[in-house]
Amino acid sequence: MRVLYVTPYFSPAAYYGEAVENAYRLSLGCARLGCNVRVLATDADGPRRTAPVETGKPILIDAGFEAIYAHRILFGALAPSLPLRLLMEVRSAEVVHLIGLNVATALPALIACKIFNRPLVWSPGGALQPWRGDRSGLGGPTRLERMLAPRRVVMHAASEGERDACAARIPAVAIATVPYGVRIPSESIREPREGRLRIGYAGRIEPRKALENLIDAAALLRDSGTSVAMTVAGEGGRRYLRLLRQRIERLGLGGEVSLIESSLRGSARRRFFDRIDLFVLPSHQEHSAASVAEALARGVPVIASEGTPWSALSEHGCGLWVKNDPESLAGAIQRLAAMPLDEMGARGRDWIKRDFDWKSSARKMCDLYAALIFQRPLPDFATTAAAVQSRHTLAPAR
């Protein structure tokens, strides 16, 4: 099967965190399963820099698949050479997988799929799940984008929450729910805790993540006598980072909270997870939150907010799913501090190894591609938006 991935950002870009990692791991997994994979992306790596790659020509990536980068100009994923290249690549592909709702890549991809009548899998990456306070204006596909979509299009949701959002916003399409996987280390080596409870967050630093709630929770913990050392690491907008630094200073948390303005990769990321006792994600909205799965895969218990798709943390005995406010976060941290964290981490690692393997995710996606290419019935993990809405309508009131 000839599969073309179209994404605004791709490895080695790191600024956009799990969005880049998920695109890379999915294309790698499908290539290893025998798909003829090619990736078309821009060289954007954040609002001000580009990735160190050669543009305009195929570059061999792991497992024998190729990536082509179009040079970004000005801002975002605006790459003048991308539309023409898209026409060439879509024409030779059997199925196209569009990642994200970036207009600069989505509109040309939709037009090309329409022209050549290619089936499309579309991963919105959480963009159809608005959160309170979102002022980005990216409310989902426009009417024009829906009109341009090919006849054979399936939305890809990474969680049940994203599936429901897709069904509500684009009721005329089918939706396949395929969780993203996570790399699982061969062993989990934890550095022993000495003294203070070590709390960590690693990922994009932006208002949607609600990290001010985590910082305020650190102040509540300090005032209640709970000794913590908190590390918040990642890249993000200058304004929000400045607000977080000011909040840490105003609350007198310089000795409790460290703000690392850098994406952690490779050995630095491994050391980060090895040196924390608890991972906390206080996000308003997430479609997958791969950082949670990554923490669990390394044996670290997790506290995640109700805006994330991780309600099963308590069920699996490896963390808590709580309201997203400082009091709830501080209370959850105090509860876990008194629990056997090593045992919880081991349970979480077993859960991730069982249910979040990249090979399984890639195999499901290949099955979906095959169904679209050969016009077979969709796999059982796909459903229609109408069926999703009907299930919610018929669900008994609680």
Walk me through the domains of the chain, giving residue ranges and CATH numbers.
2-181+359-389 (3.40.50.2000), 197-355 (3.40.50.2000)
Q: 112 φ, ψ to 5°? A: -65, -40
Task: Report how far Cα 95 is from the mean position of its chain's Cα atoms.
Answer: 23
pLDDT tens, position by position, 145-203: 666 777 799 999 999 889 988 888 887 789 999 999 988 888 777 777 778 999 999 99
In this predicted structure, what is the pLDDT of residue 310? 95
CB 42 within 8 A of CB 74: no
* Regions of the chain where pLDDT drops below 70: 131-147, 389-398
Residue 120 DSSP label: E
Give the tokens for residue 298: 């390394």
- CA dihedral (36, 290, 19, 236) in degrees, to 10, reads -160
pLDDT (0 to 100) of residue 146: 67
| Concatenated DSSP letters of 14-74 | -TTTHHHHHHHHHHHHHHHTT-EEEEEEE-B-SSS-B-S---SS-EE-GGG-EEEEEPP-S
Phi-psi region of 120 (alpha: psi -120 to 50; beta: other; left: phi over 0): beta
CA-CA-CA-CA dihedral for 9, 13, 19, 23, to nearest 10 = 70
- DSSP letters, 259-284, are EE-S---HHHHHHHHHT-SEEEE--S
